Amino acid sequence: MKRFHVHVAVDDLDANIRFYSAVFGSPPTVEKPDYAKWMIEEPRLNFAISNRGAKTGLDHLGFQVDSDEELGELRQKAADAEIAALDQLQSECCYARSDKYWITDPQGIAWETYHMLGAVEIYGTDMPKAAELAAERAACCAPKPNLINAVPKRSSCC
């Protein structure tokens, strides 16, 4: 089952933790010195904030899935639609290890679809392959839109 994911870059983490804790009616599920996350059940939402130096506002959107099979199904839909995607296996960012892929919508908003494999102790700096290509990155390991769009579109056969 999918869970909608929203990540917002903020300038004052403590003020935003207070605000979103009131909005969601609960404290963060995960709280670090530079990051907080709420796992809301109704509606199913993974809402994260961080103050990692990115421009404040929407960082990225996405879907968290529960299995490799569901991740593969959604990735195949992107491939079938010939949407350029950047695959990242065993990626470590936002205090989590995940298999994921990134796409960018026509407005330039990054979308992350991922299956979380476990927690890690550091925020993360790992972006397999993409780190070598991108001089700059957004707050939560989201590649720049031009990096995602530079990935050749895949045909359905390969």
| Diameter over CA atoms, the chain | 49
**Confidence class for position 25, pLDDT limits 50, 70, 90:** very high
Q: How many percent of the chain have pLDDT more than 70?
A: 77
Three-class secondary structure of residue 72 per DSSP: helix
**Confidence class for position 156, pLDDT limits 50, 70, 90:** very low
Sign of the alpha-carbon dihedral angle for 78, 82, 88, 93: negative
**pLDDT at position 149, please?**
55
Q: Which CATH number fits domain 3-150: 3.30.70.580, 3.50.50.60, 3.10.180.10, 1.20.1250.20?
A: 3.10.180.10
| Distance, CA of 116 to CA of 134 (rounded, Å) | 23
Domains of the chain, residue spans = 3-150
Q: Encode pLDDT of 27-40 as tens digits.
A: 999 999 999 999 99
Q: What is the pTM of this model?
A: 0.73
| Distance, CA of 64 to CA of 135 (rounded, Å) | 27
Average pLDDT over residues 61-78: 95
**pLDDT at position 52, please?**
77
* Phi, psi dihedrals of residue 146, rounded to the nearest 5°: -65, -25
Is it the case that residue 13 has pLDDT exceeding 60? Answer: yes
